Amino acid sequence: MKQVTSNKLFGINKQLLILTVVAAMLWGIVYVFSDIITYLVISYVLTTILRPVVTYLQSFQVLSVRIPKSLAILLAFTLLIGFVALFIDLFVPLVSEQIKVISNLNYTSFIGKINKPIDFVEEFLISNGVLDQEKGFIWKNIQAKFTEWFDQGEITTYLNNIFSFTGSLFVGLMAVLFITFFFLYDNLIFKSYLISQIPNRYFEVSIVAISKTEHLLSNYMLGLFTQMIIIFSMISIGMIIVGVDYAVIIAVFTALANLIPYLGPILGAAFGLFVGISTTTLVGSENYLFLSFEILSVFGIVQVTDNIFIQPLIFSRSVKTHPLVIFLAVFIGAELGGVVGMIIAIPFFTILSVILGEFIRGYKEYQIFRINT
The confidence score (pLDDT) of residue 118 equals 67
Q: Worst-scoring range by mean pLDDT, 35-44, 176-185, 281-290?
A: 281-290
Residue 140 CA to residue 137 CA, distance in Å, equals 5
Q: For residue range 92-140, what is the model confidence (pLDDT) as tens digits?
A: 776 676 666 656 655 566 666 666 666 666 777 777 766 666 776 666 7
For residue 131, being part of any structural domain is answered with no
Overall number of domains in the chain:
3
Q: Is pLDDT above 70 for 86?
A: yes
The confidence score (pLDDT) of residue 14 equals 62
The confidence score (pLDDT) of residue 321 equals 65
Q: Is pLDDT above 90 for 301?
A: yes
Q: Is pLDDT above 70 for 365?
A: no
Q: What is the mean pLDDT of residues 41-53?
A: 79
For residue 327, being part of any structural domain is answered with yes
Do 291 and 180 lie in a common domain? Answer: no
Q: Is pLDDT above 90 for 235?
A: yes
For residue 134, being part of any structural domain is answered with no
The confidence score (pLDDT) of residue 362 equals 66
Please name every residue paired with 62 in a beta bridge, in sequence order, or none if there are none.
65
Task: Please give the DSSP secondary-structure letter assigned to residue 187.
Answer: T
Q: Is pLDDT above 90 for 66?
A: no
Q: For residue 208, name the pLDDT band (cuts at 50, 70, 90).
A: confident
Choose between 274 and 143: higher pLDDT. 274
Q: What is the mean pLDDT of residues 45-68?
A: 80
Q: Is pLDDT above 60 for 302?
A: yes
Q: Is pLDDT above 60 for 153?
A: no
The confidence score (pLDDT) of residue 216 equals 75
For residue 288, being part of any structural domain is answered with yes
User: How many Å separate Cα 119 from the centre of its chain?
Assistant: 36
For residue 139, being part of any structural domain is answered with no
The confidence score (pLDDT) of residue 108 equals 60
Say if residues 225 and 256 touch (Cβ distance below 8 Å): no
Do 210 and 343 lie in a common domain? Answer: yes
Do 194 and 96 lie in a common domain? Answer: no
Do 216 and 257 lie in a common domain? Answer: yes
Say if residues 70 and 58 touch (Cβ distance below 8 Å): no
Residue 122 CA to residue 277 CA, distance in Å, equals 19
Residue 258 CA to residue 226 CA, distance in Å, equals 12
Do 276 and 346 lie in a common domain? Answer: yes
For residue 114, being part of any structural domain is answered with no
Share of residues in the chain with pLDDT > 70 (%) = 58
Which residue range is the domain that position 166 belongs to? Answer: 43-104+157-185
Q: Which residues are within 8 A (CB) of 229 and not within 5 positions of it... i.e. 6 or more apart?
A: 255
Q: Which amino acid is at 367?
A: Q
Choose between 8 and 242: higher pLDDT. 242
Do 322 and 349 lie in a common domain? Answer: yes
Do 178 and 214 lie in a common domain? Answer: no
Q: For residue range 261-293, what is the model confidence (pLDDT) as tens digits?
A: 778 888 889 888 888 877 776 666 667 778 888
**SS3 sequence, 46-71?**
HHHHHHHHHHHHHCCEECCEECCHHH
Q: For residue range 157-174, what is the model confidence (pLDDT) as tens digits?
A: 655 565 565 566 677 788
Look at the pTM and tell me if it is higher than 0.85.
no
Helix axes 247-257, 69-103, angle to 10 degrees: 120
Do 216 and 77 lie in a common domain? Answer: no
Say if residues 66 and 60 touch (Cβ distance below 8 Å): yes
The confidence score (pLDDT) of residue 241 equals 92
Q: Worst-scoring range by mean pLDDT, 39-48, 144-153, 338-347?
A: 144-153
Do 327 and 363 lie in a common domain? Answer: yes
Do 194 and 79 lie in a common domain? Answer: no
Q: For residue range 248-262, what is the model confidence (pLDDT) as tens digits?
A: 888 888 988 888 877
For residue 138, being part of any structural domain is answered with no
Q: For residue 60, name the pLDDT band (cuts at 50, 70, 90).
A: confident
For residue 317, being part of any structural domain is answered with yes
User: How many Å separate Cα 257 from the centre of its chain?
Assistant: 8
Do 308 and 352 lie in a common domain? Answer: yes
Most confident range, picked from 65-74, 234-243, 342-351: 234-243
- Full DSSP string of 92-120: HHHHHHHHHHHHT--HHHHHHHHHHHHHH
Do 224 and 342 lie in a common domain? Answer: yes
